[in-house]
Chain A
Amino acid sequence: MWRTLQRALVVTIAGAVLGLAANAVSPRRIPYIAPPVVNVPSDFIPFDEAQALWRSGEAIFLDARAPADYAAGHIGNAFNVPAENFDAHYSPVAGMLTPASRIVTYCDGLECDLSHHLTDRLRQLGYTNVHILKNGWTVWRNAGLATSTGGQP
């Protein structure tokens, strides 16, 4: 009985030592201490909620992409405020907004950061109710919702 336990212990220790050694040199090693989970408040608005805001006209939708991309197709009733040329395009839209206005920004692609840049800029200006519709143009188009082409509405 004692001998069996001894064997089991040796097998367990040998497996653990070699497992830890393999983990230490593995490019996909598992950390021994998991990093703390940080809850970051989300800037993103769920698609259903964005759709409801759009239907009621409660929020103004801002397309953060370049004018050529906007002209080729955009969410219906959205205005174009390109994040990379904010100063030139902000003023006409600003007249429609108050600091508390609900604003939804979007661009295209899961990695697109133009809507983030636009949101940051609007928040700097004092708008407190700005949300991002992630991958906005693609999800909107794929959902078959109303779209427009050409210039500002």
Chain B
Amino acid sequence: MKRQVLAALVAVGMFSLNCRADEPAKPEAAPSGGPKIQLDKTVYDFGSTSLVSKLEGVFIISNVGDAPLEKIKAQPSCGCTSAPMKTDKLAPGEKTELAFTVNVGAMNRGHLEKHITITSSDPKQPSVNLTLKADIVSVYEFNPQSIMVGDLRLGSSTNTEIQVKRTDGKPLGVTKVEGAGTFVRTKLEATEGSNTTAIIRVEIVAEGVARRFNDSVRVFGENATQPLLVIPVGGRFVGDIALSQESLFWGVADSENWPGPRGEIATTRKIIISSNLPDQKLELTNLNSSIPELKVALKPVNEGKSFELVAILEKLPKESATGTIKFDTNLKSQPQLEIKVSINILKRG
């Protein structure tokens, strides 16, 4: 029986050795001399949190060695984290605080994990990796999560609604709703019989000049400066004529081998020009390009309704250039249209 117990112990020992074989090596005991960095913790776990725009905390850095710890630097893993060191030197037995801030930004749900690398003159542990983590839990659900209206004719408007719900059982707590731009009009309506839900009615009015817009509906709680939710709103206000693109860009990487193996893809850009007027035929004339090397042509796509403008850069200008493609139309509201062109040629070296 003794032999059986002994054999079992040997088996367990072998199993344990196998289990631990891939674990990272632990730092060795404190050296007899020299600086030694020590942190109060290497993981700062905020757990589950919600309704935060930033996370803040402090690590304590100590020198437990018997020589000055120098060249202490803190390098965050991303621009969203700041961790300024108060000092870059610690005498033996001295401590310092490393206060950090993680900008959570618009993130309102998901797992967040950032790192800070501390480097120093500790010969045994020249760098220490610190982990900051949190699970951001949103207490609000909103549907839809963005409003994209596509093309909207000037002078018209569109209405939509956003449903908002608070999921932690507490009252909704929404105090104010506003559109960032004057053309986004909003109204908050309580839901009858519920203090955890509401409807935001959104009206987008196409006013001003034809342009793309990228705005937002902002939902505020008790804090009137930091929105609880930001719902993107985007689209384009168009006149009687809509262009699939309003400007053209050629980014030339290798001018000596232009246009390279993907010939037509590199040289050619196409824009669809279409009329929004149902009862009037569209006519385009006097097409020209201010850049001599850029050849332009119009091809009808849907007779009297839409055209394809084809711009071909068969030969490169000697240097980077900007210019325009212009054409006249028969519509009084937009008698001439202009498309900006930019050709950027990278220089070698």
Q: Is the interface of B mostly helix, strand, loop or mixed?
A: mixed
Segment at the A interface, from B32-40, B42-50, B211-219: B211-219
Given A55-B254, A58-B265, A95-B247, A87 and B23 touching (CB < 8 A)?
Answer: no
A125 to B216, CA, bound (A): 12
Distance A144 CA – B16 CA, assembled complex (angstroms): 48
Q: How far is the CA of A86 from the CA of B106 in the complex (A)?
A: 12
Q: Please give, as numbers and ranges, the residues of chain A lying within 8 Å of B259 by CB-CB distance.
A: 56
B185 on the A face (CB < 8 A): no
**Bound-state Cα–Cα, A137 to B180, Å:** 33
Q: Which of the residues B150, B246, B344, B348 comes within 8 Å of A95, measured between beta carbons?
A: B246
Instruction: Output the nearest chain B residue to A102 by Cβ-Cβ distance.
Output: B265
Are A26 and B216 CB-contacts (below 8 A) given A11-B8, A146-B253? no
Residue from A22, A94, A114 in contact with B212 in the complex, judged by beta carbons closer than 8 Å:
A94
Q: With contacts A60-B249, A77-B251, A87-B215 known, is A111 near B115, CB below 8 A?
A: yes
Q: Interface size class for chain A? A: 35 or more
Q: Which residue of B lies closest to A59 (CB)?
A: B251
Complex CA distance for A23 and B18, rounded to whole angstroms: 12
* Given A14-B8, A76-B251, A146-B346, CB of A91 within 8 Å of CB of B212: yes
Interface residues of B, count at CB 8 A: 55
Contact of B3 among A7, A112, A124 (CB under 8 A): A7
Residue of B113, B148, B265 with most partner-chain A CB within 10 A:
B265
**Could you tell me which residues of chain A, from 60 to 115, have a CB within 8 Å of some CB in chain B?**
60-61, 65-66, 69, 76-77, 84, 86-87, 90-91, 94-98, 109-114
Cα distance A146–B348 in the bound complex, in angstroms: 7
B344 close to A153 (CB less than 8 A): yes
Q: Is A10 an interface residue (CB 8 A)?
A: yes
Extra inter-chain contacts (8) besides given A77-B344, A124-B234, CB under 8 Å = A15-B15, A58-B265, A91-B212, A97-B245, A111-B77, A114-B78, A121-B232, A146-B346
Q: List 15 A-B contacts (CB under 8 A).
A: A15-B11, A22-B15, A22-B19, A23-B19, A55-B260, A65-B79, A66-B79, A77-B253, A77-B346, A112-B78, A112-B79, A124-B145, A125-B214, A146-B253, A153-B249
